[in-house]
Amino acid sequence: ECTVNFYRHYGDTRPLKTVTVLQGYSVNSSAEKSHSAMPVRPEQDKMRFVRWITEDGHTFDGNSTVNGDMNVYGVWECTVTFDPDGGIVTPEAMDATVYGNITLPQAQRENCTFAGWYTEKNGEGEEFTGINVQGDITVYAKWICTVTFNPDGGDVSPDSVDVICGK
């Protein structure tokens, strides 16, 4: 007999479910013999369950053959929504694997310089880098605008300053 531990996420220390499977059989075929069964599809806020994978990254389902004790991990997906805050961005949203990384799009806005994505409007909150995405989230473009001073024949120092647009 083999033990299959199902974990909600890679890195979890306590299995969601443990089943016993006859060696050389699948969870589904062993279920009839030993009352083992695949776990109920897990649910979690701000993310969607996609599939189970083995430690080496192969998809595992109820028909996968079990040849020894193993750990299986849930793969989750979430949506990152990009609010360009007066600018333009493509795509406006993308799916990401939870705890995975995404390449962030660049936004554009007339007369402004794009300065990254943040968890709150106007560059407030934390900077969002797209690394280790942990659930559905909306992020906001931060814009920098240059204000140039006209001294009207006099001197001014500095002659320009950068400010966060929208503040």
CA distance 72 to 84: 38
Q: Tokens in use for 18?
A: 């443990």
Cβ atoms of residues 165 and 108 within 8 Å: no
Q: Which residues fall within 8 angstroms of residue 67, CB to CB, at 6 or more apart?
A: 2, 23, 24
The one-digit pLDDT tens for each residue of the chain (167 residues) are 999 999 998 888 999 999 999 999 999 886 555 556 889 889 888 999 999 999 999 999 999 999 999 999 999 999 999 999 999 999 999 999 998 899 999 999 999 999 999 999 989 999 999 999 999 999 999 999 988 888 888 887 887 788 888 75
Q: Which helix (H) or strand (E) holds 33?
A: helix 27-34
Q: Which residues fall within 8 angstroms of residue 56, CB to CB, at 6 or more apart?
A: none
| Residue 33 confidence (pLDDT) | 55
CA distance 48 to 70: 24
pTM: 0.77
Look at the block and give the residue holding tokens 């806005």.
109
Cβ atoms of residues 9 and 78 within 8 Å: no
| Residue 161 confidence (pLDDT) | 82
Return the DSSP state at 123: G
| Residue 30 confidence (pLDDT) | 64
